[in-house]
Amino acid sequence: LSQRLEVLNPNDEIGRLAETFNSTLARLEASFVRTRRFFVDISHELRTPLTIIRGETEVGLKWAKEPEDFKEILQSNLDEVKRMSDIVESLLDLSRAEEGGVHLELQEIELSEFLLGLIHDLEQQRRHNEQESRISLESYGTAWIMGDMRRLRQVFLNILNNALYFSAEDSPVRIELKVEASRARVSVIDRGVGIPAEDLEHVFERFYRVDKSRNRRDGGAGLGLSLVKSLTEAHGGKVYVESSVGLGSVFIVDLPAIPAPSAEAFIPS
Ligand code: ADP
């Protein structure tokens, strides 16, 4: 496949045809490489939990006697099965989003209210509600967009969970919401570990993790941000990252804004 056509004269028709052919071939090759890497990655991701389940089950069958031992093994197996389901769910979401096949249930959403709701749920979930909240929202006015509530939750939950996870326990995470011209811009700012410059352009790729060893067992398969990217793009938006090692990261989601819907007309009875 790697053979290229020789371009004798780039200006005549045959030459242009040969150049088109060569560049198509290059794209095709790159796509084969990506597909191959994808299969290696996914096999690897699923093999790890499978190895754990298999090992623990074998050891359990051979040595476990007390009900407590069995319970521990079942619990651990359940954790690994959940992990595999998450990976498979994310992959399905991702492939639907990338094929443009994700069906968006669009509605008018006011982003500051939406984000406050999300922060509330996150704090609840993390049982931080008794302590001071780690996440704060700074918004300049209201920002209306057309969006799919469930999908946008996935987008911002992924970014926020990363911001919380990759920074210290008591380190604040700030959300800034701005409307400029016809764009609504949400920045999630953390003061965490940051991302090295050479990794920045890759973090939205499937299965990409900066520190490959660090979070294998606590959740991260490197799929979250690729889903964030596809879902944001499905909404006609864009996502960016700026980061500096040791200082923190900013993830910016830029979405098309709509005019505030007018309040429903008051009809006197
Ligand atoms: P994961 O499930 O591993 O978090 P993601 O796709 O969400 O996968 O993120 C990919 C990688 O980008 C992470 O493994 C991490 O190395 C890096 N990353 C994402 N968000 C942040 C952040 N806020 N601070 C530092 N690193 C981050």
**Sign of the alpha-carbon dihedral angle for 116, 157, 259, 242:** positive
Q: What is the mean pLDDT of residues 134-160?
A: 93
> How far apart are the C-alpha atoms of 125 and 139, rounded to whole Å?
23
- Tell me, what's the ipTM? 0.98
Residue 242: its pLDDT value, please?
Answer: 97
- pLDDT tens readout for residues 165-191: 999 988 999 999 999 889 999 999 999
- pLDDT tens readout for residues 100-120: 778 899 999 999 999 999 999
Residue 181: its pLDDT value, please?
Answer: 83
Nearest to 93, CA basis, from 258, 185, 220, 223 = 223
**Average confidence score pLDDT of the chain:** 88
Report whether pLDDT(219) > 60: no
Residue 62: its pLDDT value, please?
Answer: 94
The residues, ordered by sequence, that sit 6+ positions from 254 with a Cβ below 8 Å of its Cβ are 183, 184, 185, 186, 237, 238, 239, 240
* Structural contact between residues 178 and 140, judged by C-beta atoms closer than 8 angstroms: yes
| Residues facing residue 53 across a β-bridge | none
9: its two tokens: 């004269």
Nearest to 216, CA basis, from 16, 44, 93 = 44
Ligand 1 centroid from CA 210, angstroms: 7
Nearest to 251, CA basis, from 173, 189, 176, 193 = 189
* Structural contact between residues 227 and 201, judged by C-beta atoms closer than 8 angstroms: no
Instruction: State if residue 230 touches ligand 1 by the CB under 6 angstroms criterion.
Output: no
Q: What is the mean pLDDT of residues 203-213?
A: 83
Q: Which range has highest mean pLDDT (13-22, 114-123, 187-196, 216-225)?
A: 187-196
- pLDDT tens readout for residues 64-73: 999 999 999 9
Ligand 1 centroid from CA 207, angstroms: 10
Task: Give nearest CA residue, ligand 1 atom 12.
Answer: 203
Instruction: State if residue 187 touches ligand 1 by the CB under 6 angstroms criterion.
Output: no
